[in-house]
Amino acid sequence: MKFIDTHAHLQFDFYDKDRDEVIRTAFEKGIKSIINIGTDGPTSKMAIELARDHKNLFATAGWHPHDVTKYDEKKLLDFLEEDKVVALGEIGLDYYRNLSSKKLQKEVFETQIKIGIEKNLPLVIHDRNAHQDTFDILKKYHPEKVVFHCFSGDYTFAQDVLEQGWFISFTGVVTFDKGSYYGIIRDVPDDKYFVETDAPFLTPYPYRGKRNRPEYVEYIIQQIAEIKQKTPIEIARQTTENAENFFCLNKKLD
């Protein structure tokens, strides 16, 4: 069984002591590709450096809502020219921690959406407790390729997002908050979702509480398989294909 972790942060300092071992083990345990997601200047840069060193690692670049006060457009544009940058993100709104003002979050979010459209790149969206504003802003510009990473809205919101042609992505939260996700997972069209760890965070059951690792997407896949009444291999195949298409990974490997 081969699968893709579409959203990890292996460049974070949680992995400073054993990053090489974590990457090697992930590939040994069935991971086909990993996309390391940037959240500001330094983490985007490091994601790109890791992608240069490893064939099946990819990167994104972008300024997370927590870090918008440090937004640097020149750097972003430089990062987006890099060969293995497959998306712009993670960008969006976070009203849970509100580490930056709502006004500035929205401004920098809109600016980055416009750049993503101009560069024809998929957008990786972070939306925490900000569903309506995130949706309204995206709808205003209507980028074509959008994924709501770590989808956390309710059933109705999932249908609204899918109706726009956008994707949703599931983390380990689906293994311990099954009730909230049951209907969403059951009804999400086969070609409109994929999986991610958000490592080092959101570790799935049975490793909850420990540091997350890319190969743990297997537990997310098992949970989805159970709800969709399919085999884990079918879910792995489908989510891999969806992610490869969405991020155009195969084109980057040619």
Which residues bind to Zn ion, rule: CB under 5 A? 90, 126, 198
Residue 230: CB minimum distance to Zn ion, A: 27
Residues 102 and 95 sit within 8 Å (Cβ to Cβ)? yes
Instruction: State how far the Cα of 86 lies from the Cα of 122, in Å rounded to an integer.
Output: 7
CA distance 182 to 171: 13
Compute the least distance from the CB of residue 43 to Zn ion, in Å: 10
**Residue 126 or 131 having the CB closest to Zn ion:** 126
84 vs 126, beta carbon nearer Zn ion? 126
Q: Specify whether the CB–CB gap between 162 and 146 falls below 8 A.
A: no
At 29, is the secondary structure helix, strand, or coil?
coil
Q: Which residue is nearest to Zn ion (CB)?
A: 126
CB of 97 to Zn ion, least distance (A): 11
Q: Evaluate whether 14 touches 211 at the Cβ level (below 8 Å).
A: yes
CB of 231 to Zn ion, least distance (A): 29
Least separation in angstroms between CB 18 and Zn ion? 20
For Zn ion, the closer of residues 90 and 244 by Cβ is: 90
CB of 194 to Zn ion, least distance (A): 14
- The Cα-based distances of 106 to 40, 60, 80 in angstroms read 16, 20, 21
* Shorter beta-carbon distance to Zn ion: residue 1 or 176: 176
Phi, psi of 147 (to 5 degrees): -125, 130
Across the strands, what pairs with 93?
127
DSSP state of 170: E
Rounded to an integer, what is the distance from CA 101 to the centroid of its chain? Answer: 23
Q: Output 35 or 187, the one with its CB closest to Zn ion.
A: 35
Check: CB of residue 212 under 8 Å from CB of residue 200: yes
Q: Which residue has the tokens 């590709």?
A: 33
What backbone torsions phi and psi does residue 143 show, to the nearest 5 degrees? -65, 155
Closer of 76 and 91 to Zn ion (Cβ): 91
Nearer to Zn ion among residue 199 and residue 221 (C-beta): 199
Q: Is the dihedral of CA 81, 82, 83, 87 positive or negative?
A: negative
Taking the complex as a whole, the smallest distance from the CB of residue 55 to Zn ion amounts, in Å, to 23
